[in-house]
DNA sequence: GATATTTAAGACAAATTTGTCTTAAATATG
DNA sequence: CATATTTAAGACAAATTTGTCTTAAATATC
């Protein structure tokens, strides 16, 4: 399990919001938690991490909710991961040894290091716009429910 | 964090034992926990999972301890991972969606899937003998202590 | 056989993650 | 201004993971 549940929830919720970018204003969190089958209060706390990290903007009251703080092409998956699971989750030793690297590798560094760095780059370079585009051509889903959140 | 702490401890302990394969009989668990800085009782419970899965053999009493159940070339890293973290830890969806695959992918399946499968194959094909050989030519370490467990 | 050593097993505790609930604050609407 | 809606915040609880402790069982050695 590479990501925590909180991180998974945060990513899925962000994808959901991103799908409506430019079409609707603020998306209420209860709509997201219903659509994705996530506890409302738990999701609220997770999304607060994203608003504190300027990935989302929230607005209180009727017609309130959350929305992306920037254009989808300016938000990477990596930003979400870092905001929730932290910087270390995608750049540290697979055996947890501090200082593991090419000069002082752990026995699995040659195997994990390149894959980890490639994943880091992929998540750094994949934006919400990329995800949105893929939704248009593939039958993606972000919920265990059939096609939860997808508009087609 | 791809592996649980228990899994990390199990892998490191197995590497330690493997380094002595053919040179010593049973290695006492307290020696391992001391060398690697792992709680003795916690490590004992983890290693019991490995003995139950026929990866290690244990022996009680004076001169007792644990040793590999098979030759190092017949034990893969993947076996250890499966025994401790379970089968799903290296073959499931990064967003935790059941049934995620090429026919019903999650939005990150194209990114994670190939890397995950490659890691699976790497761990399936990397044996303790491979790790032992690498120890001979590189300054590996399996402890935060300087060169913990290495014999040179 | 007595003793010391070592793993096995399970109860228990601490820490972390996950999830729930209540109250407060902000805001749109009538 | 009153009310309903919605996020913010924090207390609290449940679940899981991690770590500790005690007792039992096995075994080598004297």
pLDDT digits (tens, 9 = 90+) for A90-137: 999 999 999 999 988 999 999 999 999 999 999 999 999 999 998 888
Is residue A11 a part of any domain in this protein? yes
In chain B, DSSP assigns E strands to 56-59, 65-68
Is residue A151 a part of any domain in this protein? no
> Which residue range(s) make up the domain with B140?
5-144
Does the structure show a pLDDT above 90 at B152? no
Is residue A58 a part of any domain in this protein? yes
Task: Give the domain CATH number at A117.
Answer: 1.10.10.10
Is residue A145 within 8 Å of residue B99, measured between CB atoms?
no
For residue B21, give every residue at least 6 positions away whose Cβ sits within 8 Å of its Cβ, in sequence order, or none: B67, B68, B71, B72, B128, B132
- Smallest CA–C1' distance to D8, residue: A48
Q: What does the block give as tokens for A43?
A: 């999701």
Distance from CA of A29 to the nearest CA of B (A): 19
**Rounded distance, CA A3 to CA B79, Å?**
22
Domains of chain A: total: 1
Cα dihedral sign, B126-B129-B130-B135: positive
CB atoms near residue B116 (< 10 Å): 20
Is residue B152 a part of any domain in this protein? no
Distances (CA, A) of B129 to B70, B91, B137: 11, 24, 13
Report chain A's terminal Cα–Cα distance, integer Å: 30
Is residue A152 a part of any domain in this protein? no
Which residues, in sequence order, are bridge partners of residue B66? B27, B58
Q: Which tens digit of pLDDT belongs to each residue from B53-88?
A: 999 999 999 999 999 999 999 999 999 999 999 999
Does the structure show a pLDDT above 70 at A150? no
Is residue A47 a part of any domain in this protein? yes
Is residue A149 a part of any domain in this protein? no
Is residue A126 a part of any domain in this protein? yes
Alpha-carbon Rg for chain A in angstroms:
17
In B88-134, DSSP assigns E strands to none
Q: Do B115 and A112 touch (CB under 8 A)?
A: no
Q: Which residues of B touch A (CB under 8 A)?
A: 1-3, 5, 8, 11-12, 15, 77, 89, 94-98, 104-108, 110-112, 115, 118-119, 122-123, 126, 131, 134-135, 138-144
CA angle at A9 for the pair A24 and B7, rounded to the nearest 5°: 160
> pTM above 0.80?
yes
For residue A82, give every residue at least 6 positions away whose Cβ sits within 8 Å of its Cβ, in sequence order, or none: A53, A89, A90
């Amino acid at each position: 399990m590479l990501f925590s549940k909180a991180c998974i929830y945060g990513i899925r919720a962000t994808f959901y919001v991103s799908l409506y970018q430019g079409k609707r204003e603020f998306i209420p969190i209860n709509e997201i938690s219903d659509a994705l089958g996530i506890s409302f209060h738990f999701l609220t706390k997770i999304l607060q991490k994203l608003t504190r990290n300027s990935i989302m903007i929230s607005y209180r009251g009727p017609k309130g909710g959350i929305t992306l703080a920037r254009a989808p092409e300016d938000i990477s998956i990596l930003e979400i991961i870092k905001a929730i699971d932290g910087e270390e989750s995608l750049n540290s030793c697979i055996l947890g040894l501090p200082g593991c690297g090419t000069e002082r590798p752990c026995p699995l560094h040659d195997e994990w290091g390149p894959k980890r760095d490639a994943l880091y780059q992929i998540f750094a370079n994949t934006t919400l716009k990329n995800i949105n585009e893929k939704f248009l051509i593939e039958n993606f889903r972000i919920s265990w429910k059939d096609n939860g959140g997808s508009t087609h």
